[in-house]
Amino acid sequence: MCGHPSTSRIASTIGTFCRVKQECINCDFQRIWSSQPFIKNVPAGNLLLSAAILMSGSSVTKSLRLFSHLKMVAICRKTFNEHQKMYLLPSIRQVWRNHQEKAITNLKEDESVVLGGDGRADSPGHSAKYGSYTMMDLKLNKIIEIQIIQSNEVGSSYHMEKEGLIRAVNFLKENNIAISTLVTDRHCQIKKWVRENLPDTKHKFDLWHIAKGVSKKLEAVAKLVSGKDVKPWIHSISNHMYWCATSTVDGDGKMMLAKWKSVGQHIQNIHTGHSDVFKECEHGELQGRERKKKWMTTGSAALLKTLDVINNPRLCKDIVMMSEKYQTSRLEAFHSTLNHFAPKMTHFSYWGQTCRTFLAGLHYNENSDREQAITAEGKERFCVAFPKFKHGGYSVKKVYKDPTYDYVDEIIHLVVAFCQEGNKKPLQETPGALCSEFIHPEKDEAVAQHSSRFC
Ligand SMILES: [Zn+2]
């Protein structure tokens, strides 16, 4: 014995008393490993260490290196992989399914189901191996379905988003959920598929994605010499788009489009006689910065280029489909959570990626309705941030209460139960590896060829 401490010994010593909270932690898991060092011949501390690494969304390599630098005896990668395969991944999938079942039961009581859908690739560019497609109940802000697609299942990574949507919709159909409204981005394949396959579903587009596209085009116009008069209007035109949708509470697409097109006249200081549907601007007397802004000159090259962007036929078709109430920004927030559990550019096995995505779903659903934190004086807490896009400007943000991790306790209880049963049930049904279709050379031959080339 070299005298180096082991992870389980240290954890059972320091873990029972928290110096920060100054209280004993009456933790089930420490009771498990202090009273029961082995669960069916599996060292309990080691199993729980593997579980803790995975549940915290940590990198296994980095976590084990941390113990190595501390000269602490810990498990090796092979042991972690064994624990993950036999107990952790099956437990995560089971807990996700249990939670999902409850969410689906609640959704069945809703007569007009409003879902948001969005895809995420596991790496930037067009070389992603995995794609996930997530469906969120936008009324309750809860993830209800996640599909993972490996690129070779659909030919290439380009088709993963559509396939994810198809599988998610099929899953909901099997569970007798009819989607009343679906909010997505403007992805062409998605638009076409929903139009052809979900005739009873209202398909609407997220505002942020449309506004971002328009702002980009106007910024390109503003960079031209003749387009510099456009720059002061970009922000207003983008804001106008949000107003067109959110002020049309009945979601009437024709009215949204008429409102949108009126901005082409407004920027020329024309505020009446827009169209039969939307006759005149509703802003009343202009105040402050809006009143002082220089109007665009009728017939100028800058104006004509701006009108080309505003009246673009493809954009106008999408304006009619803008979502007046529910947006997909919370799905973007979920993707940030997912980045924590399954960072882009880090490679995981198929079930590793899938279950880390389920973990992100469980974490999001448990913490999506956190209350705002309160100061010691009983006031609501805020913080001031300086986001880069504001170029020196600031934003005031609410500070929320700390997240909770009840789902982790639930999963670890199941891990211990699976281990106690001695029932090893690794997850099956993985799509073949991306390289499975390639010709595999004999390793010795490949090494010999490589050496002769570089000698
Ligand atoms: Zn006006």
Relative to beta strand 17-18, strand 42-43 is unpaired
Return the amino acid letter for 42: V
Going from the Cα of 244 to the center of ligand 1, the distance in angstroms, rounded, reads 13
Q: CA-CA distance, 111 to 107, in Å (whole number)?
A: 8
Going from the Cα of 254 to the center of ligand 1, the distance in angstroms, rounded, reads 19
The DSSP call for residue 126 is: T
Going from the Cα of 207 to the center of ligand 1, the distance in angstroms, rounded, reads 21
Question: What's this model's pTM, rounded to 2 decimal places?
Answer: 0.83
Nearest CA to 240 out of 270, 282, 277 is that of 282
Q: CA-CA distance, 146 to 100, in Å (whole number)?
A: 10
- Give residue for tokens 């920060």: 20
Helices (H), 144-229: 160-174, 188-197, 207-223
Going from the Cα of 135 to the center of ligand 1, the distance in angstroms, rounded, reads 38
Count each helix (H run) and each strand (E run) in the chain, helices first. Answer: 18, 11
Question: What stretch of H or E contains 176?
Answer: none
Q: CA-CA distance, 191 to 193, in Å (whole number)?
A: 6
Going from the Cα of 327 to the center of ligand 1, the distance in angstroms, rounded, reads 26
Q: CATH 3.30.420.10 region(s) of the chain?
A: 91-206+327-407
Going from the Cα of 262 to the center of ligand 1, the distance in angstroms, rounded, reads 8
Q: CA-CA distance, 172 to 166, in Å (whole number)?
A: 10
Nearest CA to 86 out of 417, 343, 446 is that of 417
Six-digit token pair at 23? 């209280």
Helix (H, G, I), strand (E, B) or coil at 140: coil
Six-digit token pair at 254? 């024709």
Mind giving me the DSSP string for 240-255?
Answer: HHHHHHHT-TT--HHH
The DSSP call for residue 328 is: S
For 112, 223, 418, 441, the CA distances from 50, given in Å and listed in that order, are 43, 54, 15, 35
Six-digit token pair at 357? 């995505």
Architecture of domain 91-206+327-407: 2-Layer Sandwich (3.30)
pLDDT tens over the chain, length 455 residues: 344 555 554 444 433 333 444 444 445 566 666 666 778 888 888 888 999 999 999 999 999 999 999 988 888 999 999 999 999 999 999 999 999 999 999 898 888 999 999 988 877 665 677 889 999 999 999 999 999 988 777 777 678 888 999 999 999 999 999 999 999 988 888 999 999 999 999 999 999 999 999 999 999 988 887 778 888 899 899 999 999 999 999 989 999 999 999 999 899 888 888 888 898 888 888 777 667 778 888 888 889 999 999 999 999 999 999 999 999 999 999 999 999 999 887 888 888 999 999 999 999 999 998 888 999 998 999 999 888 877 788 889 889 899 999 999 999 999 988 888 876 677 766 666 655 666 667 777 777 777 777 65
